Chain A
């Protein structure tokens, strides 16, 4: 690895020649529909990465399957668009194999909370230093509009023409209950807020989770689009929420699906050791006692 002086959070001081968004934007044209919230997400991500200052080749960006999972291809990072629901385990293998990398994981709500839902608690409790961004649009967009795990009860979709009979999952409450050390929610309409929380998530030394309510312009609920979101948004920072108060964060998270809170719900003020730091320690300790042949 070429980066010297890596700080505690794995982020080096800014590079000599400052990076710009151009350094992170690839030549691939997104497949997303015009007006899709994911355009805002990728822009916020470019900005956050510029602020972080690690060069693109030191970033590994892993996703699953879905509209939003195309996102690594729109960056100049080392991208890996894996199979449905398995972005987190692939990303953990990458981070374990090379803890020096900045590892980002992204996907949709179906990828993360339905087919890949079993991996989320384990990624959280294992606590590798990676950032998981979910673009939560409450629908399966790539397959044209079926129920997703976060679709509200009663919603009529091509797979529920009589209305959904299921309670949606609450991603924020899930990850808080699993013990995530950093939990935030943003919307693409609030570009500055989203950029800052992604940056803070990357800087958090451990597993960090950002839920982005990224509306589906084609199959989504007309009442859940960017303009509506912008009007509905309530910034946690302005509400006086203390992000080190986990119970209060869980209380606020209960309102997922009714209120639209944005900002950092929870950030552990005393981050526990990461799995990757423990790997380095174990390797060093065992290599010191008995060097490999």
Chain B
């Protein structure tokens, strides 16, 4: 029996592959498993190829994993379009639609898996339900039968989904599911591939994606205004917020463009409210001037950038981590903007709340770098305990301070000046994109500019001491280190644990605070290291390079970086760790780039 299983499925848009994935993860949650569901599509609006991968396990799942344990192919052409996203290995069980007419020995894969089964999926659907639309329920039956997945819970899910559509449709789909189960029972696999029973029932666990939980976190943090513009893969944040933000006394603007969206957010923040925007790469580029305005006016705001492949339109539906430079260096002038990155779906909650807190405390725009995978991946998560989070509000001037004559940009030890808002008597000031003195009056004095730059940059220094925004694992004296961030952190964490289990002396650092670079945290991490690997999904290795800008790195400081939409599997990371252990770079072409 297995404790961990990765299932990949691909077909055409109408095959219902993605809804089969949704059904499987919901059933897995009810049954008591943990799971992670990623979906991948061509960029067609409807139809075209679609796929999903479900990793289901008895313990929390850290990443979508590498090679598939089970591949479900409704159509080879579509399956092959996903390439490295659905890797098949010699041990993968391959189930494919018999109607494709290809013999098991002749399937179009470079590897030859031991178990390859041509299943008459369409035929079973037609015979049982009279419609090809029931094919995905046949697939669910096959998976439940052969792999021991949530047999009862899937049936419950089918009943819930189709009960409103009339008895005939409901029964047809139930029969299709039963036909799949029966087929599996009648054709037992050569080996036992069944998943172990769950450790406990699901309880309050839920299925959620990164964008939905981001919206929940924003409301929890006190967000009262959202301004944004539809863009893949960030739109769902706005779509979730528009349902409930009004109940919290807030409002939401679908603006005429990306610039207007963030400009309205700056306005709402000036008016005294916590405010947020969300976008993806192209929109983030457009917003950069207004982010600079928020920096110089010292107005809090949160800007979520759900990264996708770039530059320009790039790969709108695929994940990448290549907007780190853009986030760190967005907008002109000498500024520092905090950049945070969640490491998974559940972590989006805490990081979003933290982003609001930092924005409010330090009166600064904060950028959250999510990515397409985290944003649109569905995870089964344990409930978030909101009691774990505090809420920070901006410091406002006291009546005494206002009576003494208010200076909006007053020099203070912390660099943080109390912030008034319209409606507050005695607090009037001029916010301006132009450089200003303490009172807010425009100035072109070089001396004042230097002092204000000092104020705006130095006020963020305490952030660098926030060690709670870093994950450290492993023996502090280990000679090997691995660093990763954001969407790649899960695979890296799994790889490091695997390497540690094999006895390799390796430790791990995952920053959630990406910028400003916390020099001391990295220096402490590097102190014991002979070799260090930075794992990320960008062609240039952007974190690898940014760390080098601020910190002296160990001699063997190398990068494992690939462009978006090319997953880096835990196995690949383990191989690089092993290579470091042998003091030999794995492939010269990818080291020290």
Contact = CB atoms under 8 A, between A and B. Distances in A.
Interface of A: 1-2, 28, 55-60, 62, 65, 70, 72-73, 76-83, 86, 88-98, 100-101, 118-119, 121-122, 279, 282-283, 286-287, 290-292
A118 B257 contact: yes
Interface stretch (B74-82, B242-250, B333-341): B242-250
Interface in B407-456: 420-434, 441-442
Contact of B430 (A73, A89, A94): A73
B294 to A, nearest CB: 10
Contacts of B433: 65, 81-83
Interface residues of B, number: 52
B224 A82 contact: no
Given A78-B422, A81-B434, A119-B256, A90 B264 contact: yes
Contact of A97 (B246, B260, B271, B429): B271
A-B pairs with the 4 shortest C-beta distances?
A93-B267, A93-B264, A89-B263, A89-B260
B101 to A, nearest CB: 54
B259 interface: yes
Nearest to A64: B433
Interface in B263-280: 263-273, 275
B25 interface: no
A287 B249 CA distance: 8
20 contacts: A55-B425, A59-B422, A62-B267, A81-B430, A81-B434, A82-B432, A83-B263, A86-B259, A89-B256, A89-B264, A90-B263, A93-B225, A93-B269, A96-B264, A97-B269, A101-B423, A283-B246, A286-B244, A287-B249, A290-B247
Interface string B507-525: 0000000000000000000
B268 A97 contact: yes
A86 B263 contact: yes
A221 B426 CA distance: 42
Contacts of A81: 430-434, 442
Given A78-B431, A91-B267, A93-B268, 14 more contacts: A28-B430, A56-B428, A57-B427, A80-B270, A81-B442, A83-B433, A86-B260, A86-B263, A90-B270, A93-B269, A96-B268, A101-B423, A118-B257, A292-B249
A94 to B, nearest CB: 4
A256 B227 CA distance: 35
Nearest to A284: B246
Contact of B256 (A56, A77, A91, A122): A122
A134 B426 CA distance: 28
A190 B502 CA distance: 86
B276 to A, nearest CB: 12
Given A57-B422, A60-B271, A73-B441, A96 B263 contact: no
A125 B328 CA distance: 36
Interface string B286-317: 00011011000100000000000000000000
B253 interface: yes
Contacts of B431: 78-81
Contacts of A72: 430
A28 B249 CA distance: 37
Contact of B267 (A65, A73, A94, A119): A94
A91 B227 CA distance: 13
Contacts of B293: 82-83
Contacts of A101: 271, 422-423
B153 interface: no
B546 interface: no
A211 to B, nearest CB: 21
A179 to B, nearest CB: 15
A13 B264 CA distance: 30
B471 interface: no
Contacts of B256: 89, 118-119, 121-122
Contact of B253 (A2, A28, A80, A92): A92
Given A96-B251, A98-B273, A78 B267 contact: no
B184 interface: no
Given A62-B267, A86-B260, A90-B266, A57 B247 contact: no
Nearest to B431: A80
